A and B are shown apart, each in its own frame.
Chain A
Amino acid sequence: EPEVTQTPSHQVTQMGQEVILRCVPISNHLYFYWYRQILGQKVEFLVSFYNNEISEKSEIFDDQFSVERPDGSNFTLKIRSTKLEDSAMYFCASFLTSPYEQYFGPGTRLTVT
């Protein structure tokens, strides 16, 4: 069964450093999302991406964040200058068309020290 994959599974970085989280969505999917979940809290929407541009973003997705689909398969989330409060699980999700379900990846645990 096709699945969304994410790398790395765990990333440790120092405050102020840039990180890039990578996702490979399911191959024929058209809509891509990033969510995050701070430990013990709810899953929160960050950004959605369709047709090579951002469709919608939340208040969390400020100028420190960016997304890119550099080729036909990868979908990346970049945090330009990490803060301690960016420590969280980051989930990538994709779907083909609505109302189809969103498929989530296993997540990347980001730890900012």
Chain B
Amino acid sequence: DAKTTQPPSMDCAEGRAANLPCNHSTISGNEYVYWYRQIHSQGPQYIIHGLKNNETNEMASLIITEDRKSSTLILPHATLRDTAVYYCIVRFSGNTPLVFGKGTRLSVIA
């Protein structure tokens, strides 16, 4: 699996958009980009995934660059409950495990 690089921590004001970057310069053509988050010591929670196109769901938007070497997760209106560690993971489709890095610790500040 390709490796990802994320900033260790970020702050965001409550109500503002949180933009979390991820570099995955060695991603291969059929690897997906997944985002998960972990609030405190709870089980990781799926947020969104994409292959080439930008994606949006009720939680977030995922912007993938045209060369697929980086992506940005956008939480449009961050709340205090969005404080968590966010993981960017690339993996092949199929029955393959998620490989977690250290992620980005997002702190949403009132």
Query: What residues make up the interface of A, taking CB atoms closer than 8 Å to B?
Result: 4, 31, 33, 35, 37, 42-45, 48, 50, 55-56, 58, 89, 91, 93, 98-99, 101-107, 109
**Given that A43-B100, A107-B42 are known contacts, is A101 also in contact with B95, CB under 8 Å in the complex?**
no
Q: Is B79 an interface residue (CB 8 A)?
A: no
Task: Tell me the interface secondary structure of chain A in the complex.
Answer: strand
Is A106 within 8 A of B95, CB to CB? no
Binds A, one of B4-12, B16-24, B44-52: B44-52
A45 CA to B42 CA in the complex, in Å?
Answer: 16
Shortest beta-carbon distance, A85 to chain B, in Å?
18
Find out whether the CB atom of B41 lies under 8 angstroms from the CB atom of A107.
Answer: yes
* Residue B109 lies at the interface, judged by CB distance under 8 Å to chain A: no
Q: How far is the CB of A87 from chain B (nearest CB, A)?
A: 13
Residues of B within 8 A of A (CB): 32, 34, 38, 41-46, 49, 51, 87, 93-102
Q: Across the interface, which residues of B come within 8 angstroms of A37, CB to CB? A: 41
A sample of 22 inter-chain contacts (CB < 8 A) reads A33-B97, A35-B97, A42-B100, A43-B38, A44-B100, A45-B97, A45-B98, A48-B95, A50-B95, A89-B41, A98-B95, A98-B96, A99-B93, A101-B34, A102-B46, A102-B98, A103-B46, A104-B44, A104-B46, A106-B42, A107-B41, A107-B42
**For B98, what are the chain A residues with a Cβ–Cβ distance below 8 Å?**
35, 43, 45, 93, 102
Contact between chains at B95 and A107 (CB < 8 Å): no
User: What residues on A are CB-neighbors of B100 within 8 Å?
Assistant: 42-44
A103 vs B14: C-alpha distance when bound (angstroms): 27
